[in-house]
């Protein structure tokens, strides 16, 4: 509960002074959320911000469930399954979105790694999943999801 | 308590499904009448806790759809246990919900 309150005050602060939010506050205190990763404009930058590396080993153990054609880019159901032990971080990227990183998941307890959500897609794009296990980063790229109407506004 | 959630046990694992009510504005859209940009307003963090310990956490970006849906699998909780879900958005608003594992 304390941590949440603290985050709250952080966000309030960054709203008041842009100089503050640019400076010391974000990463050091709230290590769980990498703000710069969510603002990164390419998949590689986001990966670098998240894991400090841009090399990931392609893995067959990661699979996607995604539609071939998403008629409405505002709501695209996606799920990621990873058959890898000791996963501690999963990231979902939409490579052609203005900011590719859509969400990151941190399974704190060991369990089967399956996460699902609904995302917005600006245009036809491939999806990328990054999975960190035992300090190693694995990646998988999905088939292209075709988007008829973009869902990012503009 | 506006977060709807369900948790269903399957052996040792528990599948949790969460549905939140939120506009999830990206900050990129413009008001069609005035042309003014609509400020970003989206959920940044969702935590699922069991007995006060966070067992699953996720960071969301503005690319998550309106009224976000999440599903994930955790291990640890048993049938009859209560799970708490809490969310935080980029303006500091919080929301929460809880469910009993079935």
Contact (Cβ atoms closer than 8 angstroms) between residue B74 and residue B16: yes
> How far from chain centre, in Å, is Cα B32?
29
Using an 8 Å CB-CB cutoff, list chain A residues near B73: 111-114
Using an 8 Å CB-CB cutoff, list chain B residues near A11: 90-92
Which letter does DSSP use for residue B92 in this model?
S
pLDDT score, position A33: 61
Taking residues B9-37, what's their average pLDDT? 82
Number of domains in chain B: 1
Say yes or no: A58 and A16 in one domain. Answer: no
**Interface with A, mutate which of B16, B61, B88, B93 (most A CBs under 10 A):** B61
Give the distance from residue A60's alpha carbon to the nearest chain B alpha carbon, in angstroms. Answer: 20
**Interface with B, mutate which of A15, A116, A131 (most B CBs under 10 A):** A116
Higher-confidence position of B33 and A18: B33
Q: Which of A77, A94, A114 sits opposite B72 (nearest CB)?
A: A114
Which letter does DSSP use for residue B65 in this model?
P
**Residue A29, φ and ψ in degrees, nearest 5:** -85, -50
Does the ipTM exceed 0.95?
A: no
Say yes or no: A100 and A122 in one domain. Answer: yes
Number of domains in chain A: 2
Contact B60 A103 (CB under 8 A): yes
For residue A10, pLDDT beyond 80:
no
Decide if A140 is inside a domain. yes
Q: What is the largest CA-CA distance in chain A?
A: 46
A89 DSSP β-pair partners: A132
For residue A30, pLDDT beyond 70:
no
For residue B96, pLDDT beyond 60:
yes
3-state secondary structure chain A: CHHHHHHHHHHHHHHHCHHHHHCCHHHHHCCCCCHHHHHCCCHHHHHHHHHCCCCCEECCCEEEECCCEEEECCCEEEEEEECCCCEEEEEEEECCCCCCEEEEEEECCCCCEEEEEEECCCCCEEEEEEEEECCEEEEEEEEEEEEEECCCCC
Say yes or no: A92 and A122 in one domain. Answer: yes
**What is the Cα gyration radius of chain A?**
16
- Domain that residue B68 falls in: 4-100
Decide if A11 is inside a domain. yes
Quick count: other Cβ atoms within 10 Å of Cβ A146? 15
For residue B43, pLDDT beyond 70:
yes
Using an 8 Å CB-CB cutoff, list chain A residues near B53: 108
pLDDT score, position A96: 81
């Amino acid at each position: 509960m304390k941590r949440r309150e603290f985050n709250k005050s952080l966000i309030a602060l960054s709203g008041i002074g842009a100089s503050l939010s640019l400076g010391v506050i974000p990463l050091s205190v709230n290590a769980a959320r990498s703000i710069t990763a969510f603002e990164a404009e390419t998949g590689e930058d986001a990966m670098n911000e998240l894991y400090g590396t841009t090399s990931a080993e392609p893995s067959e153990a990661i699979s996607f469930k995604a539609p071939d054609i998403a008629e409405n880019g505002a709501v695209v159901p996606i799920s990621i399954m990873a058959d890898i032990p000791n996963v501690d971080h999963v990231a979902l990227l939409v490579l052609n979105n203005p900011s590719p990183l859509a969400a990151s998941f941190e399974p704190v307890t060991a369990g089967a790694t399956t996460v699902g959500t609904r995302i917005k897609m600006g245009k036809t794009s491939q999806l990328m999943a990054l999975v960190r296990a035992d300090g190693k980063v694995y990646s998988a790229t999905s088939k292209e999801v075709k988007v008829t109407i973009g869902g990012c506004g503009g | 308590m506006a977060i709807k959630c369900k948790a269903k046990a399957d052996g040792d694992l528990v599948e949790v499904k969460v549905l939140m009510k939120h506009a999830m504005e990206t900050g990129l859209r413009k008001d069609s009448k005035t042309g003014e940009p609509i400020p970003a307003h989206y959920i940044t963090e969702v935590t699922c806790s069991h007995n006060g310990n966070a067992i699953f956490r996720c960071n969301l970006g503005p690319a998550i759809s309106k009224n976000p849906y999440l599903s994930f699998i955790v291990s640890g909780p048993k049938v009859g246990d209560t799970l708490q879900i809490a969310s935080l958005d980029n303006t500091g608003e919080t929301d929460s919900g809880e469910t009993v594992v079935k």
